[in-house]
Amino acid sequence: MSHLLLDTRAFLWWLANDAALGERARAEIARVENPVFVSAASFWEIGIKRAMGKLEAPENLQDVLLEASFLGLPIQIAHAELAGRLPLHHRDPFDRMLVAQAIVEGLQLVTADHQLTAYGIPILDAHS
């Protein structure tokens, strides 16, 4: 059993049934015994990019999350503290938060961003 944390792109690819999400990643996300988390940071990122006109996404993401049987992951103080202390391998604050959450919560991050491997966390390649 894997405890998965979807990055923002993997979450959106899953919702859109986008072929960019690879077969292995799709199969692991679909396995009923694998708890799948989506961070509040992803909802925040989607909201910002939607407002800027850089992204189209469903308006009712919280309902979509529940329909997919995914679990919301709130941002905790421990996550924020760690995100601020991480080495600057990656400068995107949303991705740094996801890395911190994966570390603190013991989750495997589903992402296509290979720069995040520099943090030494368990990653499932979203393209595989």
Tens digits of residue pLDDT in 57-115:
888 899 999 999 999 999 999 999 999 999 999 889 999 999 999 999 999 999 999 99
Rounded Cα–Cα distance for residues 63 and 78 (Å): 27
pTM of the predicted model as reported, rounded to 2 decimal places = 0.95
Domains of the chain (ranges; CATH) run 4-125 (3.40.50.1010)
Q: Which amino acid is at 116?
A: L
Question: Are 65 and 42 within 8 A, CB to CB?
Answer: no
Nearest to 83 by CA among 50, 40, 54: 40
Residues in the chain: 128
- Per-residue confidence band for 116, with pLDDT thresholds at 50, 70 and 90: very high
Rounded Cα–Cα distance for residues 7 and 74 (Å): 14
User: How many Cβ atoms are within 10 Å of 120's Cβ, its own excluded?
Assistant: 10
pLDDT tens column, 19-56: 999 999 999 999 999 999 999 999 999 999 999 999 98
